[in-house]
Amino acid sequence: MAERVPVDDGFFMPAEWAPHDRCWMAWPCRGSLWGDGLAAAQAAYAAVARAISGFEPVTMLVNADAMEDAQALSGGAVGCSEMPLDDSWMRDSGPSFVIDGKGGLAGVDWRFNAWGGKFQPYDQDALTAERLLTQLALPCYAAPLVLEGGSIHVDGEGTLLTSEECLLNPNRNPDLTRSDIEELLRRYAGVERFVWLGEGLDKDDTDGHVDNIACFVRPGVVMAVTCDDPADRNHVIMKDNLARLAKARDAKGRALEVIELPLPREPRYLDGHRLALSYVNYYIANGGVVMPSFGDAHDAQAFEIVSKAFPERKVVQVEASAILVGGGGIHCITQQQPRP
């Protein structure tokens, strides 16, 4: 008998604005990634956790030897739970939770290969989703697809937003075609329609994760990153993505309304490598949005645009430059557990 998949049991991936029971995070620990920036990253993760805990419960997964530090920095409002980790990107190594709309909750365990084998080791992170679902006593659907949660975004009504640069990258699923990948996403995420953007941000270590360039803010509405500097390679990339969004239809047949969100004004570099700064890499919490600031001229404008897009939610900005050093943002380090 064929193994059951989420859609067989009526499960689908809800939108990120659906109510949550909890937010999951993981404590920064990979010394080779963070180097001298490890302490600053830990402080920034703790600040994000505290901000989210103002809206919903937060649990930080932590290596045994770092429990005391993590709890002290995160504060009393954030719970810490022991789990072996290689790294700290819960969006990508954690499970994608799915619901059935009838009170059922389960999780999808995507295959994890550290963004195309960019970091070693990653064997503990590859087990994070399965371990967490076991700990929560939830059904676990093991998907035969290498995928990170930051590479997809759903509207909860059957539409999935992603990028060709990431999902079609040969360092993930070299033997699968676009239609193979779409079929697996239909079966495991419960979606019907795909909106394929082209590339992600220039020099993004994730090979173009969609959570750095666009996301749904409600059904039929997408917030997308723009770049107004023709000399910046992101200008051409984002122009192409906006053109694709203009032509797209969602699973309900709607044309998409697009809210434009500018990139930070000043590019940021570390050891000559451009960092993938983006304001759209935010976490939608119960009654709130926790978004990044970078000490940039566009911080206030980005705050206004996001606040206007989420009128029912309180928007909080957290300085995220120290997180960017590791190659990601606030959305990358969080994973929502929906309320079934």
* Section 221-236 average pLDDT: 96
Round to whole Å and give the CA distance between 260 and 225: 6
Q: Name which CATH class applies to 9-338.
A: alpha beta
The answer on pLDDT for 1 being more than 70 is: no
Where do the H-state alpha helices sit in 54-124?
67-74, 90-93, 114-117
Give the three-class secondary structure for 228.
coil
Give the three-class secondary structure for 330.
coil
* Section 57-67 average pLDDT: 98
DSSP tag of 155: -
Name the pTM for this structure.
0.97
Provide the residue ranges of all domains of the chain, joining segments of one domain with +.
Answer: 9-338
Residue 215: active-site member: no
Lowest mean pLDDT among 87-91, 97-101, 204-208, 268-272: 268-272
Q: What is the pLDDT of residues 152-204, one digit of tens each?
A: 999 999 999 999 999 999 999 999 999 999 999 999 999 999 999 999 999 99
Percent of the chain with pLDDT over 90: 96
DSSP string, 239-299: HHHHHHHHH-B-TTSPBPEEEEEEPPSS--EETTEEP---TT--EEETTEEEEEE-S-TTH
* Section 316-336 average pLDDT: 97
> What is residue 55's predicted lDDT score, i.e. its pLDDT?
98
> What is residue 267's predicted lDDT score, i.e. its pLDDT?
87
Bridge partners (DSSP) listed for residue 163: 197
Give the active site residue among 23, 29, 227, 332: 332
Give the three-class secondary structure for 122.
coil
Q: What is the pLDDT of residues 259-289, one digit of tens each?
A: 999 999 888 888 888 999 999 999 999 999 9
> What is residue 337's predicted lDDT score, i.e. its pLDDT?
98
Residue among 312, 262, 321, 314 at smallest CA distance from 289: 314
Identity of the amino acid at 269: Y
Q: For Cα atoms 235, 250, 261, give the angle at the middle one, nearest 5 degrees.
A: 30
Per the rule left: phi > 0, alpha: psi between -120 and 50, beta: everything else, 231 is alpha
Q: Which residues, 6+ apart, have CB-to-CB distance to 126 below 8 Å?
A: 93, 111, 112, 113
Max Cα–Cα distance, the chain, nearest Å: 58
Instruction: Give the mean pLDDT of the chain.
Output: 97
